[in-house]
Amino acid sequence: MGSGKTHNILFDEDATMSPLPRDSLDDSLSATRKAVADMLEQRNPTYSLPQPFYNDPRLFQVDMEEIFEKQWLFAGMSCEIPAKGNYFKLEVGSNSIIILRGAENKIHAFHNVCRHRGSRLCLKDKGKVAKLVCPYHQWTYELDGRLLFAGSDMGDDFDMSAFGLKPVAVKSAGGFVFINLSENPEPIDDFLVSLEHYLSPYDMDNVKVAVESNIVERCNWKLVIENNRECYHCSGSHPELLNSLIEFDDTDDPRSTGEYRDLVARKQADWTACEVPWQLARFGKRNRLTRTPLLDGIVSMTLDGKPGCNKLMGNIPNADMGSLRILHLPNSWNHFMGDHAVVFRVLPLGPQETLVTTKWLVHKDAVEGVDYDPARLRQVWDATNEQDRRLAEENQLGINSLAYQPGPYSQTYEFGVIDFVNWYSETMRENLGVPASTPLQVASQ
Ligand code: FES
Ligand SMILES: [Fe+2]
């Protein structure tokens, strides 16, 4: 660059700086995608993943593009936006999304990006608006995303209809709101029909969030989910949770005992008599619903096992409903009891940083301080979340070591983890374009 000319690295013909920054980024990402496909093809499906899946920033970008920008994600509860104009916001990596209740009770989701010059529109996590007004130059949008006002100086031929907010696919069932950032979302209606059925006794239009917690775990999002998918660690770490929870997943659990199976049969007969759904339902490895008993005589995930809220949810006939467990990969697990529910949302913040949001739901008419005490309601899962955070963070630190190599999952205790990691692996390979017919190879160990 000694010619005295002003050089522009993107446009100057004489520029010797190559490759262009944008090209080099693309090269590196496509190399990462190829490496991801290769590693998944060679992995042992009953072993934990190779190290880069848990800590590499490039692989994290592929996770965001191929999983979080393509799969249905649990966003929040419809009760959080009860009236027209109510909205909440969530961040999916670098994508900020607005979930909003519009006219005629319709739930919309939009990219939180102004169509003028791209400013974010909603800055608060939640709120209520009459219209969406951009804070930068006040372009104004209707609640259905149409552009209503763009100032007077855009010219006579400015076509406002071409500059509506970009929509995001959104579906709601059983009080849950799911979004999908893909242009062609995969079908999910079979699961949603089931979800609606299982949640119908809870009258999800009449629930509210009693209390909420947000914790940032310094670990990869997959370690949060892996940790949730097994109770191998429960006896060593979760004294509060084990006051109510039975470790077995269902009667097919290889550890289940005759005594447990008798309890399940008894409770299932009770639930059938109350017309409360309990059957195990699966939708691939992505979704699983089942109602399982809590310890005999215990009705809720509270420290003493008694109801955390005196007013039962919806039309629930009695408090002894066990726990309806609902799994949604990649980012949610849930427990619905008779008196309250606990819903969990996982959102990756970085290769080794994950936001875990927990919400405790109660009947809309339950009165704080009379029917429930938020501090008591949250005790068990606050303690459990904190214990799980420490476990997952220690898992991350060990994985970051030179010494880490994938290790074997227990078929007896960790079948749920095997299912999750295989779901991840199959979904990733499919989205990366690896033919679905190529079987996962079992490497010799
Ligand atoms: S960027 Fe929104 S009005 Fe200008
Ligand atoms: Fe745990």
Task: Give CA 24 to chain center in angstroms.
Answer: 32
Q: Give the confidence band of 9 by pLDDT, cuts at 50, 70, 90.
A: very low
Instruction: Return d(Cα 358, Cα 382) in angstroms, integer.
Output: 9
Q: Is 158 in the pocket of ligand 1 (CB under 6 A)?
A: no
136 Cβ below 6 A of ligand 1: yes
> CA 415 → CA 236, 261, 318, 393, 425, distances in Å?
19, 19, 33, 22, 15
Q: Which ligand is nearest to the CA of 333?
A: 2
Residue 108's φ and ψ, nearest 5 degrees, are -115, 155
Which ligand is nearest to the Cα of residue 228, counting in written order?
2
**If you average pLDDT over residues 346-370, what whole number do you get?**
98
Question: Which pLDDT value is given to residue 25?
Answer: 62
For residue 24, the model assigns a pLDDT of: 58
Separation between Cα atoms, residue 8 and residue 6, nearest integer Å: 7
Residue 134 CB–ligand 1 contact under 6 Å: yes
pLDDT of residue 7: 36
Average pLDDT over residues 400-423: 96
Quick one: pLDDT at residue 50? Answer: 97
- Band the pLDDT of 18: cuts 50, 70, 90: very low
The three-class DSSP label of residue 428 is: helix
Probe target for ligand 1 pocket from 98, 110, 116, with the most ligand atoms within 8 Å of CB: 116
* Whether residue 135 has its Cβ less than 6 Å from ligand 1: no
Is the Cα torsion angle 430, 434, 440, 445 positive or negative in sign? negative
Is residue 440's pLDDT more than 60?
no
Tokens matching residue 363? 């009947």
Paired tokens of 89? 């916001």
The answer to whether the beta carbons of residues 248 and 392 sit under 8 Å apart is: no
Question: Is the confidence at residue 73, as pLDDT, over 60?
Answer: yes
333 in contact with ligand 1, CB cutoff 6 A: no
Taking the mean position of all CA atoms in its chain, how far away is CA 19? 38
- To the question of pTM greater than 0.85 for the whole model, the response is yes
Checking if the pLDDT of 11 tops 60, the result is no
CB-ligand 1 contact for 119 (6 Å cutoff): yes
137 lines ligand 1 (CB under 6 A): yes
- The closest-lying atom of ligand 1 relative to the alpha carbon of residue 117 is 1
Q: Which ligand is nearest to the CA of 114?
A: 1
Condensed to tens digits (0 to 9), the pLDDT of residues 231-289 reads 999 999 999 999 999 988 777 788 888 999 999 999 999 999 999 999 999 999 999 99
Neighbours of ion ligand 2 (CB under 5 A): 388
Domain ranges of the chain: 73-173, 190-399
In this structure, are residues 355 and 225 in contact, taking their beta carbons and an 8 Å threshold? no
Superfamily for the 190-399 domain? Naphthalene 1,2-dioxygenase Alpha Subunit; Chain A, domain 1 (3.90.380.10)
Residue 20 in this model has a pLDDT that exceeds 70: no
pLDDT digit string, tens, across residues 104-125: 999 999 999 999 999 999 999 9
CB 321 near ligand 1, within 6 Å: no
- Which atom of ligand 1 approaches the CA of 118 most closely? 1
- Ligand number, closest to the Cα atom of 234: 2
Q: At what angle do helices 415-431 and 21-42 cross, to 10 degrees?
A: 140
Expressed in angstroms and rounded, the spacing between residue 383 Cα and the centre of ligand 2 is 10
Is the domain spanning 73-173 CATH 2.102.10.10? The answer is yes
Under 8 Å between Cβ of 224 and 345:
no
Q: Extract the tokens encoding 290.
A: 């089942």
Q: Using alpha carbons only, what angle is made at residue 191 by residues 187 and 193, rounded to the nearest 5 degrees?
A: 105
Question: Mean pLDDT of all residues in the chain?
Answer: 92
Q: Residues 21-56: pLDDT tens digits?
A: 545 566 788 899 999 999 999 999 999 999 999 999
β-strand partners of 172: 177
- Do residues 208 and 364 make contact, with C-beta atoms less than 8 angstroms apart? yes
Q: In what order do the strands lie in the sheet with 126-128?
A: 107-111, 95-101, 86-92, 126-128
pLDDT at 435: 63
Residues 6+ apart with CB under 8 A from 290: 249, 250, 278, 279, 280, 281, 324, 325
Span from the CA of 135 to the centroid of ligand 1 (angstroms): 7
Asked if residue 11 lies in contact with residue 17, where contact means CB atoms within 8 angstroms, the answer is no
Ligand 1 mean position to 64 CA, how many Å?
A: 27
Q: How far is the CA of 343 from the centre of ligand 2 (A)?
A: 15
- Ligand 1 and 165: CB distance under 6 A: no
User: Which residue, among 185, 180, 171, has the nearest Cα to 97 in the 3D structure?
Assistant: 180
Written as six digits, the tokens of 10 are: 């993107």
pLDDT surpassing 70 at residue 375: yes
Q: Indicate whether residue 117 lines ligand 1 (CB < 6 A).
A: yes
Beta strands in 129-227 (DSSP E): 132-133, 140-141, 147-149, 169-173, 176-180, 207-217
Picking from 153-157, 224-228, 261-265, 407-411, which range would have the lowest pLDDT averaged per residue?
153-157
Q: Which of 17, 165, 193 is nearest to 100 (CA)?
A: 165
> Is residue 81 within 6 Å of ligand 1 at its C-beta?
no
